[in-house]
Amino acid sequence: MEQVLKGVPAAPGIALGRARIRRETGKRRAEPRAADAAEELAALHAAAEQTAAQLREIICRVASRTSPKEAGIFKMQLLALEDPLFMDAVKALILGDCCTAEDAVDRAVLALAEKFRNLDDPRLQERAADVRDVGQRLIKNLAGAPDSGQPEAGILFAVSLAPSEVSLLEPTQVTAIVTEAGSATGHAAILARALNICAVMGLKDALIRVCEGDPVLVDGTSGEVFLHPEESTIESCRLRHGREEAMLARLAAQKELPAITLDGFRVELAANIAGPRGVPAALAAGAESVGVVRTEFLFLERDTMPSEEEQFAAYREIVSGMAPRRVIIRTLDLGADKELPYCQLARERNPALGLRGVRLCLRQEQIFGTQLRAIVRAACFGNGAIMLPMISDISEVRRTKEILGRFAAPRVPLGIMIETPAAAIMAPDLAAEVEFFSIGTNDLVQYVLAVDRLDENLADLYQPFHPAVLRLIRAVCEAAHGHGKWVGICGEMAADPRAVALFLGLGVDELSMDPRSIPAIKSVIRQTRRSETIALTEEVLALNNAPQIVSRLESYLRQVAGTSQA
């Protein structure tokens, strides 16, 4: 019967085949060599030379099959093998503690791996796996055991696979790997991706559940492993995989193209992300910048406030990962609807109208100052900017500028979100204070229409295309451009294909959205003529109700899509 196991997706793709299980052989020489340390040292020396030769061969092999970057993993292992910190420890154990060479290597590796595990950088912690890889290879060579041969064609199951073991796999034979240990960021996973072998890792008890020769379907994209898969599962997995491939191909084809109208008006398409992990997705989708980094991810679900260093490290990773593209970091946007154990907030009757966003930050100046300092420090690792949420009064901008003015650091561009009616109406004055606006449509709609956007009973009253909202957005765009500042849209409307014509007509400079929406919005922009949208926007803004506006925009969108297909 079909059984589904879920692990960590480590290398994408699907593979169908028979399970091939590799069990740890743990071959160990039982008897110590004759007696004296000299012989152990000689054995160690010979094994180290053999290991170095094998690693050099792996380096050549990997460099020719993948790229110099992956080969670098084994260059590091070679350096580690010859490293005095490692070799001197092994020799000392042989000479001082009368260990066999195998035991000495084992103990030295354990001690080193422990040191790596104690580092606070997760990516460095994983280098413990490389140290163990070198150690295992040395021990195998000491025992005179050959490299594990090429497994039978199929799907390789193992407790864990060392990077060098993965590098030796033949992708035409081993179409997928499943391991109990490991993670998506480890060197074994990096190599699997480079070799196009799909992989699921961190799947506990995998070896207990599977039997040699079982039919297995591996989905390295979702992290699912199906034992004895049904025909229907295989079929739906293949279909999904086909769609993903097609989407990736479309993305790739469009990725480098600008979001430009048929008559040459260019819009910047940006990504909304919530942490360093969003960077690869943003780049893959062809984002030209990051329009909003939601920094709440750093603050939620923890007992203590994130330190300046911790915040700096996260912001810097995003800013340098996107460089030279712009990255707009939004300061903490929380309110009383979220629990922060380290910052007691009074209960509020109506959190949406309460102490949230910049209001909260200005009351908790220590939290705010720390965050601003971390952003300012990170900004120079690329092109960083600061954005303040929930502005409703000009004094909030000025007080923030005062705090920023106290830092002895280069100036970082400052912008604000326009999401309260007060900010939208005061836009001409606010535009003089900041470098840019980003209109947060989700909140702006709720505040302009006085409709709680989380209340399902009011869903029909929550109308993003309400003329009151659209006319206010027009006023904000005019205010920004009147002061020579740029204006963007973040919020769900930015990713709504129906709104594209409207934003083009208003001359919006940037649209920031979930990276997955970028390709669709880009293709609409590339099929539209801005000259037409200006007239359309005039026409639509003269209407007095949302249903008419939506129907007009929808018919225009159909017309645009229709002409491009003809």
Partner 1 sequence: MVTGAFTIINSTGFHARPAGLFVETASRFRSVIKVVNGKQSADGKSVLGLMLLGAKPGAQIIIEAQGEDEAEALKTLAELIARRFGEEA
Which residue in 91, 140, 241, 316 binds partner 1 (CB under 8 A)? 316
Residues 377-416 that bind partner 1 (CB under 8 A): 377, 381
- Which of these ranges, 109-117, 242-250, 326-334, 463-471, lies near partner 1 under the rule CB under 8 A? 109-117
Q: Taking the CB of residue 469, how many other CB atoms lie within 10 A of it?
A: 24
Contact 199, 221 (CB under 8 A): no
Our finding on whether 347 is near partner 1 (CB under 8 A) is no
Q: For residues 86 and 437, which CB has a smaller minimum distance to partner 1 in the complex?
A: 86
Check residue 148 and report its DSSP letter: P
How far is the C-alpha of 6 from the C-alpha of 18, rounded, in Å?
18
Q: How far is the CB of 46 from partner 1 (least distance, A)?
A: 22
Our finding on whether 115 is near partner 1 (CB under 8 A) is yes
Our finding on whether 522 is near partner 1 (CB under 8 A) is no
How far is the C-alpha of 421 from the C-alpha of 16, rounded, in Å?
56
How far is the C-alpha of 196 from the C-alpha of 191, rounded, in Å?
8
Q: For residues 78 and 468, which CB has a smaller minimum distance to partner 1 in the complex?
A: 78
Q: How far is the CB of 30 from partner 1 (least distance, A)?
A: 30
- Fill in the per-residue mask, 62 to 91: x = in contact with partner 1 (CB under 8 A), - = not in contact: -------x--xx-xx--xx--xxxx-----
Our finding on whether 111 is near partner 1 (CB under 8 A) is no
Our finding on whether 317 is near partner 1 (CB under 8 A) is yes
Q: How far is the CB of 114 from partner 1 (least distance, A)?
A: 11
Q: Where are the beta strands (DSSP E) in 404-547?
A: 414-418, 436-440, 486-490, 510-513
| Residues contacting partner 1: total by CB under 8 A | 32
How far is the C-alpha of 135 from the C-alpha of 252, rounded, in Å?
41
Cis previous bond, 324, omega within 30: yes
Q: For residues 329 and 355, which CB has a smaller minimum distance to partner 1 in the complex?
A: 329
Our finding on whether 437 is near partner 1 (CB under 8 A) is no
Task: Tell me if residue 490 is catalytic.
Answer: yes
Our finding on whether 116 is near partner 1 (CB under 8 A) is yes
Q: Which residue has the tokens 């000491």?
A: 142
How far is the C-alpha of 57 from the C-alpha of 63, rounded, in Å?
10
- Which of these ranges, 112-120, 149-157, 425-433, 452-460, lies near partner 1 under the rule CB under 8 A? 112-120
Q: Which of 99, 361, 477, 490 is catalytic?
A: 490
CA dist 344 to 135, 333, 357, Å?
A: 50, 16, 15
Which ranges of 285-331 would DSSP assign to H, the alpha helix? 308-322
Q: Which residue has the tokens 């994209």?
A: 221
Which residue in 26, 146, 149, 324 binds partner 1 (CB under 8 A)? 324
For the CA atoms of the chain, what is the radius of gyration?
29
Residue type, 360: L
Q: How far is the CB of 121 from partner 1 (least distance, A)?
A: 6
Our finding on whether 122 is near partner 1 (CB under 8 A) is no
Our finding on whether 112 is near partner 1 (CB under 8 A) is yes
Classify residue 349 as left (phi > 0), alpha (psi -120 to 50) or beta. alpha
Three-state secondary structure string covering 40-90: HHHHHHHHHHHHHHHHHHHHHHHHHHCCHHHHHHHHHHHHHHCCHHHHHHH
- Which of these ranges, 15-23, 125-133, 486-494, 509-517, lies near partner 1 under the rule CB under 8 A? 125-133
Our finding on whether 278 is near partner 1 (CB under 8 A) is no
Which residue in 254, 320, 442, 527 binds partner 1 (CB under 8 A)? 320
Task: Tell me if residue 187 is catalytic.
Answer: yes
Our finding on whether 321 is near partner 1 (CB under 8 A) is yes
Our finding on whether 313 is near partner 1 (CB under 8 A) is yes
- As a residue count, the chain comes to 566
How far is the C-alpha of 351 from the C-alpha of 364, rounded, in Å?
17
Q: For residues 244 and 317, which CB has a smaller minimum distance to partner 1 in the complex?
A: 317
- Comparing CA positions, the residue from 19, 3, 11, 21 lying closest to residue 223 is 11
Which residue in 211, 248, 249, 323 binds partner 1 (CB under 8 A)? 323
Q: Which of 45, 60, 187, 237 is catalytic?
A: 187
Our finding on whether 287 is near partner 1 (CB under 8 A) is no
Write out the two tokens for 178: 């499943």
What is the contact surface with partner 1 in residues (CB under 8 A)?
69, 72-73, 75-76, 79-80, 83-86, 112, 115-116, 119-121, 123-124, 127, 130-131, 312-313, 316-317, 320-321, 323-324, 377, 381
Which positions are annotated as active-site residues? Answer: 187, 490
